[in-house]
Amino acid sequence: MTLSPGPVPLYHQLEQDLRERINAREFKAGEALPTEERICGEYGVSRITVRRALETLIAEGLITKRRGVGTFVTPPPESGVRSVRLSGSLDEFLASAGALATKVLSMQEIQAPDEAVRGLRLAPGEACTRLDLLSFLEDAPLGYHNLYLPLAIGRKIKPVDVGQKLPVIRMVEGKAGARVVRAEQFLEADIAGPIASKYLNLQENTPVLKVTRIYYDMTGAPVEMIVARNHPERYRYSIDFVAKPRIV
């Protein structure tokens, strides 16, 4: 296919065409996309154009870049599982998240637990940095957070960097020299458990909302993973759905 000069920018035409080819399963889930060079040749466009198109598809989560390996079509969700997937603006989310008062409980390098291996795409047994945090709202404990960082990023951060009136990820971006373009957030129910219950003054078996959020950079690599358990009476999670206005 050749792209045509005109009002629609080339990178946008390319992005649309690649999206269609992925949706038509010409490139299948889990498989690699052609290299940037091949895409340049096939469409007769520059490397910059190809990169811009791929960046958009990465930001949408349709493809994933593995550094030094290639770009792969993101596999679809498992069968037998209902996935309710919403989308939102990261900038607005972080602006509204604002800066809670945060206390660092501990910071250490550990062998990554399973959830961090999966979330940060580490090798089994690989080490990572773990920060345990407690957030406060009007002096009352609000959330108990486990924050995981790849070791290379964790080593650039000190406990004193946390809680400087900035969402933690913004501080991490600065220290790591990364730019976060996307985050995935999962919501589950859990019990408070022995540790969070202590910090949040709850019974161990109190149901709490467990929020897992993974931030990704422009290459699709995970930069930070945070697992939060929140106080059920001080944390509300709501979504407003608005219908498209109809002209009256």
Residues binding a second copy (CB under 8 A): 48, 51-52, 55-56, 59-61, 77, 79-91, 93, 96-97, 100, 137-138, 140, 142, 179-191, 205, 207-210, 230, 232-246, 248
Q: Which is nearer to a second copy, 123 or 243 (CB)?
A: 243
- d(CA 225, CA 146) in angstroms, rounded, equals 8
Work out how close the CB of 172 gets to a second copy at its nearest, in angstroms, rounded to a whole number: 14
Angle between helices 47-60 and 36-43 (to 10 degrees): 120
Q: Which is nearer to a second copy, 49 or 107 (CB)?
A: 49
Q: Which is nearer to a second copy, 107 or 116 (CB)?
A: 116
Work out how close the CB of 108 gets to a second copy at its nearest, in angstroms, rounded to a whole number: 27
Work out how close the CB of 242 gets to a second copy at its nearest, in angstroms, rounded to a whole number: 5
The distance of Cα 216 from the centroid of its chain, to the nearest Å, equals 5
- d(CA 56, CA 49) in angstroms, rounded, equals 11
Work out how close the CB of 57 gets to a second copy at its nearest, in angstroms, rounded to a whole number: 12
Work out how close the CB of 235 gets to a second copy at its nearest, in angstroms, rounded to a whole number: 5
Work out how close the CB of 138 gets to a second copy at its nearest, in angstroms, rounded to a whole number: 5
Q: Which is nearer to a second copy, 47 or 158 (CB)?
A: 47
3-state per-residue secondary structure call for 3-44: CCCCCCCHHHHHHHHHHHHHHCCCCCCCCECCCHHHHHHHHC
The distance of Cα 21 from the centroid of its chain, to the nearest Å, equals 25
Q: Which is nearer to a second copy, 47 or 155 (CB)?
A: 47
The distance of Cα 119 from the centroid of its chain, to the nearest Å, equals 9
**In the block, residue with structure tokens 């080819």:** 21
30 φ/ψ sector (left φ>0, alpha ψ -120 to 50, else beta): left
Q: Which is nearer to a second copy, 4 or 238 (CB)?
A: 238
